[in-house]
Amino acid sequence: MTNPGKLMIIGGGEDKKNEKIILKEFVRLAGGDSAKIVIMTCATNLPEEVAKEYTDVFEEIGGSSIKVATLDIRERSQANAPEAVETLLDATGVFFTGGSQLQLVRSIGGTKIDTVLHDLYDKGLIIAGTSAGASMMSSVMIIEGSTGETATVGLTTLGGGLEFLRGVIVDQHFAQRGRTHRLISAIARYPHFLGIGIDEDTALIVCDTLCNVIGQGSITILDAGGVAEGIPDKNIDDSENISISGIKLHLLSSGSRFDLRNRINVKNV
């Protein structure tokens, strides 16, 4: 069944001062000057500062008629509170800020807020997330992992995400922080998942299984589905280097479109 909702998965560092391409597109998809946006600051340790920054930008983009609210969930009890749920019910767009993806998932995973977000997404809501808010979109999430190091079996620590987009593992700040090896480490352990690495000031907009790229950087998609050898055995030590071949790589820039179900560039169909 086609899901009418949309996801905007942002690699962090999105432009907030100049052209604001990504944030303008989010506001447009959320309803433009009639948008009702909820900013979720549960990943950051600076919720008031971050909320004000995004509120100012969204109001600048959408004008005086736009409505912006903030939900700062620190405890799971807050995520089950009726007033928190009520804040979301009229939203046309929800925006997750950066911070700690583990903190984010621990705060709302499996709560009423989580359930309501999925229900609203199924009905057409656009959900955006930047940095940590991008990582939490998938079923399996990179919690932490060294950057710029040799790809070892245990280079990344993985955990459960909020499952808005299944069948993928998302990494952010991708080119800027040299995270290719840690994404390879992740998909080597989950070869049936696509690895999606998103550069800063770049976003993947997902509608059902089709997606398109906007922003200044690139998106790297790693497909280990055709790998015949090199998938780590469960008995291999985490410190062992990965030796793997046959990973398919797609490098997508602004304007590119990709079919997640068939794992192909739409232009090649």
Collapsed DSSP state (helix, strand, coil) of residue 166: coil
- What pLDDT was estimated at residue 76? 96
Q: Which of 14, 25, 100, 173 is catalytic?
A: 173
Q: Which of 48, 49, 75, 149 is catalytic?
A: 149
- What pLDDT was estimated at residue 243? 85
pTM score, two decimals? 0.94
Residue pair 164/110 in contact by the 8 Å Cβ criterion = no
Output the CA–CA distances (angstroms, integers) from residue 129 to 149, 191, 250, in the order listed: 26, 24, 22
DSSP codes, 99-148? S-HHHHHHHHTTSHHHHHHHHHHHTT-EEEEETHHHHTTBSEEEEEE-SS
Of 185, 188, 113, residue with least CA distance to 149: 185
Q: Which of 107, 131, 138, 256 is catalytic?
A: 131
Per-residue pLDDT of the chain in tens (269 residues, 90 and over written 9): 456 899 999 999 999 999 999 999 999 999 999 999 999 999 999 999 999 999 999 999 999 999 999 999 999 999 999 999 999 999 999 999 999 999 999 999 999 999 999 999 999 999 999 999 999 999 999 998 877 678 888 889 999 999 999 999 999 999 999 999 999 999 998 999 999 999 999 999 999 999 999 999 999 999 998 886 666 666 677 788 888 889 999 999 999 999 999 999 997 54
CA 8 to chain centre: 7
For residue 34, the 8-state DSSP code is: G
Enumerate residues 6+ apart whose C-beta is below 8 A from 231.
188, 191, 224, 244
**Whether residue 118 lies in the annotated active site:** no
Q: What is the C-alpha to C-alpha distance for residues 32 and 192, in angstroms, rounded to an integer?
A: 37
Fold that domain 6-268 belongs to in CATH: Rossmann fold (3.40.50)
- What pLDDT was estimated at residue 235? 60
**Whether residue 163 lies in the annotated active site:** no
DSSP-based helix, strand, coil % in the chain, nearest 5? 30, 30, 45
